Amino acid sequence: MRIRIVDAFADRPFTGNPAGVLLLDDVFPDDDWLQRVAAEVNHSETAFAHRLPGGGEADWALRWFTPVTEVAMCGHATLATAHVLYATGAHEGLVRFATRSGVVVATPHEDGEITLDFPTAPLTEVEAPAGLAEALGAEPVAAFDTGPDVGDLLVELADEKTVLELTPDHRSLGGCSSRGVIVTARAEDPTLGADYVSRCFFPNVGIDEDPVTGSAHTALAPYWSARLDRDDLTGLQASRRAGLIRTGLRGDRTLLRGRAVTVIDGELLA
């Protein structure tokens, strides 16, 4: 079968976040095979999708695997999958994906961008876990639980510089949340083209630092929209590869808008 590597939330190759994408002929193979393929691809997520019968609430079934486990929500691999569907002609127009997080929707635009419609993460302020400041190497300003689908700890830090220069202890961060830690601050440098900056660390699912994380922005969007009093914002995930995500808060739904680029198109032989 065909396997593709797609850079998501990117307008040129070797930026944004790479994801493996496999369009399957029928039902999902057994979980062990899916996990082995994801481990072989060895990107933060590999997406597997197959077409569903017509007349239902969704058009395609979609699952996401890191190199070590299946996850409940992934934005960049959803964007990558939608990009492959449109680029190959496998689907036209709005596409509805049945996922562990419910039905998520992708809508193509004439300029080549794609908008994803995801559930907004519920934010609950919590006390910073013991050892978090030491693991990050920075003192948290505030900490929030992001709910069961995202499963991360959202942490605001003092300023943009602190976020950009952070060198955390990934092993110690693993004990601070079920999936990972999102750090963020208000953007201060206007040349970045963003309203807020973030970085994401997921040692519990085999990813020390994720390049650009769509699911994290379902928590970042409501967080910063409340503070900046605007529903439509732009977030910069300031990893080495980096990527911009335009976010739109629509109540219990969050819109994520970006581009994707196919960089590898090959054949899986195993």
d(CA 99, CA 113): 22
134 is catalytic: no
Question: Is 94 strand, coil or helix?
Answer: coil
What sign does the dihedral 247-157-207-119 (CA atoms) show? negative
DSSP three-state, residue 45? strand
CA distance to 56, 176, 182, 222, 235, per residue, from 188 (Å):
46, 28, 18, 19, 12
Q: Which of 40, 45, 92, 127 is catalytic?
A: 45
Q: How far apart are CA 56 and CA 22, in angstroms?
A: 22
Half-sphere exposure at residue 84, Cβ-oriented, CA atoms within 13 angstroms: 30
Q: What is the identity of the amino acid at 114?
A: I
Which among 164, 205, 209 is positioned nearest to 184, based on CA atoms? Answer: 164
Which residues are known to be catalytic?
A: 45
